[in-house]
């Protein structure tokens, strides 16, 4: 059955927030719905928690490599080949070999060792705005911690981090008129990030340091070093994946807390709730709205026949509000106990940075909740025009100035 009122391909439909009423309808009436699309080609919508888990765990059937993870197909063979050099767009067994190259830098132990360092950074970031009593929360506060941390881990000089911030926005904001309106501009941004990768390669090839870039430069996959394209693509993935997402969750989380003052009050009174608040923020407003898979064999999901070659879209915000899994799913409840949210994905491509992201969110919310008192929105936040990232471009907030 066609549901003409549901238009999930249109980024304008996400300007007012994730259209949860459509996802509610789909979960109830047609949870594996075939969404027609004359321009991009129709696609299956995975909207239930269980189905998102199933599809994500079958990389041999639902492939990342076949056509990438974007709703829009790569424009030609060249673009497809370039996308396949990025780990996110690989399938096993190749994917596993690449992931192993950097995995050690992201284990709970390795990340845990950085806790005090991250806490210091968070303190300095909030120091810079707290006495003023107002700030533009996205650029002055939320973007800083993930950006500083990933630049440090990659060996990118901190003085260049705002350039990285800008380039990431252009790459992610392809559908947003403020950032990039054409594919060419997005490609130019990725070429500039490759330029960064080349400059750092010169530096760390000769003198390796304890950072991820040095590790990539000296990596070995089946006895061979990474090609230039593989190295630059890896560099780009780590830089982009590690900064846009955590920033978005910080912004959406603070916004949700301001919109639910009784929850914010609970958190101020009892900061030991921060870890469960973070899980709830991740569930309620996930940073990633969708990723795509492509069927490389015939398959069945919830009784629907999916054919080889079909496009399948995983809708994370919908799985996170599945009534069969979450009690009262539209309620924002920072004390929620049973919370198997899927905002970091699951299975083969489960977010490499999940431990790091959780720690970043922990230390920044400790500072924000304690120090930005009586916060209020000064203007309506400006959302990113995107059905891919649940982002906010600008959010002006006021609070009691810190003495």
CB of residue 373 to ligand HEM, shortest distance in Å: 25
Using the minimum distance from each CB to ligand HEM, give the nearer residue, 130 or 232: 232
Using the minimum distance from each CB to ligand HEM, give the nearer residue, 213 or 245: 245
353 near ligand HEM (CB under 6 A)? yes
27 near ligand HEM (CB under 6 A)? no
242 near ligand HEM (CB under 6 A)? yes
- Restricted to residues 115-134, the positions that interact with ligand HEM (CB under 6 A) are none
344 near ligand HEM (CB under 6 A)? yes
Secondary structure of the chain in the HEC alphabet?
A: CCCCCCCCCCHHHHCCCCCHHHHHHHHHHCCEEEECCCCCCCEEEECCHHHHHHHHCCCCCEECCCCCCCCCCCCCHHHHHHHCCCHHHCCCCHHHHHHHHHHHHHCHHHHHCCHHHHHHHHHHHHHHHHHHCEEEHHHHHHCHHHHHHHHHHHCCCHHHHHHHHHHHHHHHCCCCCCCCCCHHHHHHHHHHHHHHHHHHHHHHHHCCCCCHHHHHHCCCECCECCCHHHHHHHHHHHHHHCCHHHHHHHHHHHHHHHHCHHHHHHHHHCHHHHHHHHHHHHHHCCCECEEEEEECCCEEECCEEECCCCEEEEEHHHHCCCCCCCCCCCCCCCCCCCCCCCCCCCHHHCCCCHHHHHHHHHHHHHHHHHHCCCCEECCCCEECCCCCECCEEECEEECCCCC
The site for ligand HEM, by CB under 6 A, has a size of 27
**Closest residue to ligand HEM in the complex (CB):** 353
291 near ligand HEM (CB under 6 A)? yes
62 near ligand HEM (CB under 6 A)? no
Candidate ranges 34-42, 167-175, 338-346, 391-399; the one touching ligand HEM (CB under 6 A): 338-346
368 near ligand HEM (CB under 6 A)? no
| Interatomic CA distance for residues 122 and 124, integer angstroms | 5
Using the minimum distance from each CB to ligand HEM, give the nearer residue, 87 or 334: 87
Q: Which of 47, 56, 214, 233 binds ligand HEM (CB under 6 A)?
A: 56
388 near ligand HEM (CB under 6 A)? no
171 near ligand HEM (CB under 6 A)? no
Using the minimum distance from each CB to ligand HEM, give the nearer residue, 117 or 350: 350
CB of residue 97 to ligand HEM, shortest distance in Å: 11
CB of residue 28 to ligand HEM, shortest distance in Å: 24
Q: Which of 138, 319, 356, 395 binds ligand HEM (CB under 6 A)?
A: 356
CB of residue 244 to ligand HEM, shortest distance in Å: 9
- Binding region for ligand HEM (CB under 6 A): 56, 87-88, 99, 146, 150, 237-238, 241-242, 245-246, 249, 287-288, 291, 343-345, 347, 349-353, 356-357
């Amino acid at each position: 059955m066609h549901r003409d009122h549901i238009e999930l391909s249109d980024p304008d439909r996400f300007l007012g927030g994730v259209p949860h009423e459509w996802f509610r309808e789909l979960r109830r009436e047609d949870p594996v719905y075939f969404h027609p699309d004359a321009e991009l080609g129709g696609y299956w919508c995975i909207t239930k928690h269980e189905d998102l888990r199933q599809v994500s765990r079958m990389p041999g059937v639902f492939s990342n490599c076949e056509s990438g993870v974007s709703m829009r197909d790569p424009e030609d063979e060249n673009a497809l080949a370039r996308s396949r050099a990025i780990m996110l767009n690989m399938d096993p067994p190749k994917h596993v070999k690449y992931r192993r190259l950097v995995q050690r830098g992201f284990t709970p132990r390795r990340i845990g060792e950085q806790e005090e360092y991250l806490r210091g950074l968070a303190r300095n970031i909030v120091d810079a705005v707290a006495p003023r009593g107002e700030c533009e929360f996205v650029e002055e506060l939320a973007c800083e911690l993930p950006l500083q941390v990933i630049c440090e881990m990659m060996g990118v000089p901190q003085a260049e981090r705002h350039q990285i911030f800008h380039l990431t926005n252009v790459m992610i904001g392809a559908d947003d008129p403020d950032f990039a309106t054409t594919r060419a501009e997005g490609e130019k941004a990725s070429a500039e990030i490759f330029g960064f990768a080349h400059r750092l390669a010169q530096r760390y090839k000769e003198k390796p340091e304890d950072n991820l870039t040095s590790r990539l430069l000296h990596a070995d996959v089946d006895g061979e070093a990474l090609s230039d394209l593989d190295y630059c693509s890896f560099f780009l993935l780590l830089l982009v994946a590690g900064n846009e997402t955590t920033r978005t969750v910080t912004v959406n989380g603070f916004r949700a807390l301001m919109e639910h003052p009784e929850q914010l009050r609970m958190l101020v009174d009892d900061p030991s709730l921060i870890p469960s608040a973070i899980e709830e923020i991740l569930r309620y407003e996930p940073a990633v709205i969708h990723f795509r898979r492509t069927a490389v064999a015939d398959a069945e999901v919830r009784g629907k026949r999916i054919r080889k070659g079909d496009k399948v879209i995983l809708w994370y915000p919908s799985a996170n509000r599945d009534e069969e899994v979450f009690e009262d799913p539209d309620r924002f409840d920072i004390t929620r106990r049973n919370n198997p949210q899927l905002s970091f994905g699951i299975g083969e491509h489960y977010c490499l940075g999940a431990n790091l992201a959780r720690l970043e969110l922990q230390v920044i919310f400790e500072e924000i909740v304690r120090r930005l008192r009586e916060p209020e929105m000064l203007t309506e936040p400006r959302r990113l025009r995107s059905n891919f990232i649940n982002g906010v471009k600008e959010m002006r907030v006021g609070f009691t100035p810190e003495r």
